[in-house]
Amino acid sequence: MSQKYRVFIDGQAGTTGLQIQQRLARHPHIELLSIDDAQRKEASARQALMKQADVTILCLPDAAAREAVALADEVGARVLDASSAHRVQDGWVYGLPELDAGQREKIRQASHVSNPGCYATGAIALLAPLTRAGLLAADRPLAINAVSGYSGGGKAMIEKYQQQGTGFAAYGLGFDHKHLKEMQAWGGLSTRPIFQPGVGDYAQGMLVFIPLNDTDGEPLQRELAAFYAGQQFIQVRELNNLDGDTAPYLLPEALNNSNNMELFVFTHPQQRQTILVARLDNLGKGASGAAVQNLNIMLGLAEETCVNL
Ligand SMILES: NC(=O)C1=CN([C@@H]2O[C@H](COP(=O)(O)OP(=O)(O)OC[C@H]3O[C@@H](n4cnc5c(N)ncnc54)[C@H](OP(=O)(O)O)[C@@H]3O)[C@@H](O)[C@H]2O)C=CC1
Ligand SMILES: CC(=O)N[C@@H](CCC(=O)OP(=O)(O)O)C(=O)O
C-alpha cells in the first residue's frame, strides 16, 4: 500500500508527544504534519493542521485537550486524545482494543478515541475479564496499588527527578486519583476502589497490584489466559511465575520501550491469598505505544506497525 495518512500531534514537544513522534517518524504509512514551534499554542495554526490531518493526536494537559477538541470539532477532524479528559465520556470510544471482542471495531469506526491512562490500562486489563466472568464480584471492595517511573508525570516531574533525585514518593492519598473513574467504569466495578500509586526514582516502567484475600488465584489465571489468548500485546504468565533472572523480585522496567503488557497471578492456595499484577511501560502500552496501536486501528493499518520504540 503506497497511500500515506496525515497525522498531526498537538503537543508534539511533550513527553507523550515526542514518543509518538519517534514511533511515527519511521511508520511507512504515516506522514507527520508538524507545526512551527512558535505557533504550537496558536489555535488557528493548530486548527488548520487538524483540518488537513486524517487523525489528530492530542498530547496535552486535560484543559488544553478539551479546548483542542472544540477546535477539532469545528472542522470535523478525527481525534485520538492521550489526556484523561474524555475517558468516560459519551460520544468517545475507550482506546483499549483488548477490552472485549467488539472494541477494535468501535475504535476503527470512531471519530473520537480516548487513549487509556497508564495505571488504568493495567488495572482494567486485570479486572474486566474477571468481573465479566463473575470471578470477581462487581461490588467487591478493592484496593489497587502501583508504582510508576517518574516519566509518568510528564516534563515537569522528569525535570524535578533529574535535577533533585527526589526518591520514592507515595501519592493518591486524597482518594481521588484521576484514573479512578475509568478503572471503575471499564473494569466492571460498581464499588469505587481505593487506588494508591507511588512514583519511583527511575524513568519509566510500572507495576499495578490488586491484592485479594479469601481468593484462589488458579481460576483467575485460567480465565485471564483464556481471555487474552492470541492477543499480540498482552501476555498472561503462568501461575506464580516470577522472572527467572531476577526472582524473588518483579522489576517494573522489563518491558520498557515496548507496547507489551504482562499479567501475573501470584497465589497461596492454603492461605487463599492472591495478588494480581500488571507490568507495562507507562510510556509504551501506558501511553505512546497504545496511541500508535489505536491510530493503526483507526486507519485500518496493521496494528503492530511501529508500536515499539
Ligand atoms: N507521561 C505519561 O506517562 C502519560 C501521559 N499521558 C497524558 O498525555 C498528556 C500529555 O502528557 P505528557 O506528555 O506527560 O505531558 P508534558 O508536560 O510532558 O507535555 C505536555 C505538552 O503540552 C504542551 N501544552 C500545554 N498546554 C498547551 C496548549 N494550551 N496548547 C498547546 N500545547 C500545550 C506543553 O507545552 P510546553 O512544552 O510549553 O510546556 C507540552 O509540550 C497528558 O494529558 C497526560 O496526562 C497519558 C499517559 C501516560
Ligand atoms: C507518575 C505520575 O504522576 N503519573 C501520572 C499518570 C500518568 C498518566 O497515565 O497520565 P494520564 O492519566 O494522562 O494518562 C499521575 O499519577 O497523574
- 141: CATH: 3.30.360.10
pLDDT at 125 over 70: yes
Domain ranges, residue 133: 118-282
Which pLDDT tens digit goes with each residue over 14-55? 989 999 999 999 999 999 999 999 999 999 999 999 999 999
Whether residue 35 contacts residue 46, with contact meaning beta carbons closer than 8 Å, is answered with yes
Residues 126 and 97 in one domain: no
pLDDT of residue 246: 75
Mean predicted lDDT score pLDDT of the chain = 96
Read off the pLDDT of each residue in 175-203 and give the average, rounded to a whole number.
98
| All cell numbers assigned to 55 | 487523525
Task: Return the CA Rg of the chain.
Answer: 19
- Just list the catalytic residues: 118
Residues 258 and 140 in one domain: yes
For residue 303, being part of any structural domain is answered with no
For residue 304, being part of any structural domain is answered with no
For residue 192, being part of any structural domain is answered with yes
* Residues paired with 81 in a beta bridge: 58, 114
3-state SS record for the chain = CCCCEEEEEECCCCHHHHHHHHHHCCCCCEEEECCCHHHCCCHHHHHHHHHHCCEEEECCCHHHHHHHHHHHHHCCCCEEECCCCCCCCCCCEECCCCCCCCHHHHHHHCCEEECCCHHHHHHHHHHHHHHHCCCCCCCCCCEEEEEECHHHHHHHHHHHHHHHCCCCEECCCCCCCCCHHHHHHHHCCCCCCEEEEEECCCCCCEEEEEEECCCCCHHHHHHHHHHCCCCCCEEECCCCCCCCCCCCCCCCCCCCCCCCEEEEEEEECCCCEEEEEEEECCCHHHHHHHHHHHHHHHCCCCCCCCCCC
State in Å: Cα 82 to ligand 1 middle.
9
Residues 99 and 205 in one domain: no
pLDDT at 104 over 70: yes
For residue 204, being part of any structural domain is answered with yes
How many folded domains does the chain comprise? 2
pLDDT of residue 92: 98
For residue 185, being part of any structural domain is answered with yes
Residues 278 and 292 in one domain: no
* Burial (Cβ within 10 Å: 0-12, 13-18, ≥19) of residue 254: middle
For residue 58, being part of any structural domain is answered with yes
Ligand found nearest the CA of 146: 2
Closest ligand 1 atom to the C-alpha of 153?
Answer: 1
In short, whether 117's Cβ falls inside 6 Å of ligand 2 is yes
Residues 148 and 269 in one domain: yes
The proportion of the chain whose per-residue pLDDT surpasses 70, expressed as a percent, equals: 99
For residue 110, being part of any structural domain is answered with yes
Residue 11 sits in a domain whose CATH number is 3.40.50.720
Residues 101 and 171 in one domain: no
pLDDT of residue 208: 98
Residues 129 and 254 in one domain: yes
Residues 94 and 222 in one domain: no
Query: What gap in Å lies between CA 146 and CA 158, rounded to an integer?
Result: 18
Residues 73 and 161 in one domain: no
Probe target for ligand 2 pocket from 179, 186, 206, 261, with the most ligand atoms within 8 Å of CB = 179
Quickly state the pLDDT bin for 1 (edges 50, 70, 90): low
pLDDT of residue 3: 83
| All cell numbers assigned to 89 | 465520556
Residues 83 and 153 in one domain: no
Which pLDDT tens digit goes with each residue over 259-308? 999 999 999 999 999 999 999 999 999 999 999 999 999 999 999 999 99
Contacts of 206 (CB under 8 A, 6+ apart): 118, 119, 122, 146, 147, 148, 149, 152, 252, 279, 280, 281, 282, 286
Ligand 1, residues at Cβ distance < 6 Å? 11, 13-17, 40-41, 59-62, 64, 82-84, 117-118, 151-152, 154-155, 282-283, 286-287
Read off the pLDDT of each residue in 185-196 and give the average, rounded to a whole number.
98
Residues 48 and 139 in one domain: no
Residues 269 and 174 in one domain: yes
Which pLDDT tens digit goes with each residue over 90-103? 999 999 999 999 99
For residue 249, being part of any structural domain is answered with yes
Which pLDDT tens digit goes with each residue over 201-257? 999 999 999 999 999 999 999 999 999 999 999 999 999 988 776 778 999 999 999
